[in-house]
Amino acid sequence: MEKINYLVNSKKRKTLLKVGLILLLFILGFVLFYNLRPGARLVQPLPQDSAVKVYFNHNQASSYEDPYRHFIREGDNLEQQIIDAVNQAKSTVDLAVMEFRLPKVAEALNFAQKRGVKVRVMIDNRYNKTLADYTPTEMTKMNRHDKLALEELKRYPADALDLLLKNSIEIKDDTSGKTTKGSGLMHHKFVVIDGKTTIISSGNLTTSDLHGDFGNLQTRGNPNNMVVIADNVQLAKTFTDEFNYMWQGLFKSHKPKRNLAIVTTGTGRTIAVNFSPANRNEDLAMTSNGEIAAYLQQAKKSVHMALFVYSDQNISDTLGDVHEQGVEDIKVLVDPDFLGKPYSKAYDAMGVCPRLGKKNHHIKVKPWNHPITTVGYPVAPSGDRGVHSKMAILDEFLVIAGSHNWTNSGNYLNDETLIFIQNPTVAAHYEREFSRLYGTAKVGLKTLPRTHKCEDTLLKTTHTSTEPIELDDSSVDN
């Protein structure tokens, strides 16, 4: 009898073990499926530098609730970084951004002013309009992307500029001083809090740039980055001085000459700052594009670039020289709308020429002696830019960022911010973002339309920039 009970119990134990094993395998399978499914976040956060923190609205290591469309998405909430800083303001907030449409930021600025904080807002004249300022006559003359931008503006829960004006917050633009006609762009994207905290971004304060489009839930905003430097009075003063020039009505080349400013951060690293535009008579080496070229010349191992627009000839020539000197790891990503434009320097890097029409036959192309194929564009959901950052990482140590496009317009027409951050901890964040973009990218000659072998006669033509002044709104953010 005991033997029979033992055998029965043994069978039960085996059955339970089998059931337990099957259940364990099922749980492990579910965990693997959950973590390996498309969109699952396996990326771990990187450590932040204590003095220079960086954020990306497509950061795969974090997530947040979209404040306007109300679902959880991957990325850092760049808007919230500004709101949090404004909420801590004690005395002053100076905000300079090309386009301002986010009502939650406007609400934070209004609350700050009610606390006694002095708030000043500077934007580009093209976007210094409330919804009520758009007349029926003007709307009939709009091009397609302006009409789309207006339709997007109507979807916001409130008109951000109107909220500021109703609270008597003063807003100025690049025509306020009557010294210019706003021929370039007021293209800065920075905030200074209490004269000690500085926020520098590549993104405008619009949903399409930071979060995504109201009418397309698949969008996640144009890929942008943000740098937050707290408790650095010297750096904040550099940006406050730039803001004050504009507040006094000085824009473009009407501002006094500002040289590259180098500031030490709390960790002993440095941040260099240069503002555009430069006078066309100025030594090229002293301009923002000239400074970029100078830093590129120092690269020893790698150059990774993710740019909205890339058309500066001197930078292209310098990068080609760096490649000749033995730097093999060069990768270049450009937004797909600008990669194949005739003025794009992607043609130089890949050693081919565009087929030019009558309107752009003066564009100069200087193909590299040893072309590369690691040039292309990131793929993004329809409605989002492939890349909107203006960034590069050199030797996993130096980061180039800010609002400055690597173009003649950025160098000589627009009010721009350019920063150079020497910091391996910060560089690691930018490298991760670049790797994410490059992982989606299409690269090589197939990305350039209508190419042909360059002719000697073409290479001898004089360069006349035909690149446009890069426009920016909620459809075409720059």
Segment 79-107 shows an average pLDDT of 98
Look at domain 53-459 and name its CATH class: alpha beta
Q: How confident is the model at residue 362 (pLDDT cuts 50, 70, 90)?
A: low
Helix %, strand %, coil % for the chain, to 5? 35, 20, 45
134 vs 34, which has greater pLDDT? 134
Greatest mean pLDDT range, 212-216, 263-267, 321-325: 321-325
Q: Is the pLDDT of residue 477 over 60?
A: no
What are 394's two structure tokens?
């050199």
In this prediction, residue 473 carries a pLDDT of 33
> What pLDDT does residue 14 have?
63
Q: Average pLDDT of 21-35?
A: 57
The domain spans of the chain are 53-459
- Asked if 116 contacts 132 with a C-beta cutoff of 8 angstroms, the reply is no
Strands 398-402 and 442-443: unpaired
pLDDT digits (tens, 9 = 90+) for 260-297: 999 999 888 999 999 999 999 999 999 999 999 999 99
* Contact between 391 and 377 (Cβ < 8 Å): no
Query: What is the average per-residue pLDDT within 212-226?
Result: 96
Extended strands (E) in 403-443:
416-422, 442-443
- Write the pLDDT tens digit of every residue in 437-447: 999 999 999 99
Cβ atoms within 10 Å of 129's Cβ, excluding its own: 17
pTM of the model as a whole: 0.88
Say how far apart CA 469 and CA 186 lie, in whole Å.
12
What secondary structure does DSSP assign to 106-168, as a single string? Answer: HHHHHHHHHTT-EEEEEE-GGG---GGG--HHHHHT--HHHHHHHHHHHHSSS-HHHHHHHTT
Q: Is the pLDDT of residue 17 over 90?
A: no
C-alpha 57/C-alpha 75 separation (Å) is: 4
Q: What percentage of the chain carries pLDDT values higher than 90?
A: 75
> Can you spell out the DSSP letters for 39-67?
T---PPPPPPPSS-EEEETT-TT-EEE-T
Q: What is the pLDDT of residue 462?
A: 38
Q: 471 near 146, Cβ under 8 Å? A: no
Q: Which pLDDT value is given to residue 177?
A: 79
| pLDDT interval class at 140 (50, 70, 90) | confident
Pick the closest to residue 97 from 177, 172, 25 (CA basis): 172
Handedness of CA 166, 168, 172, 178 (dihedral sign): positive
Which residue intervals of 273-423 are DSSP H helices?
A: 288-296, 313-324, 336-339, 346-350, 408-412
> What is the average pLDDT across 166-182?
88
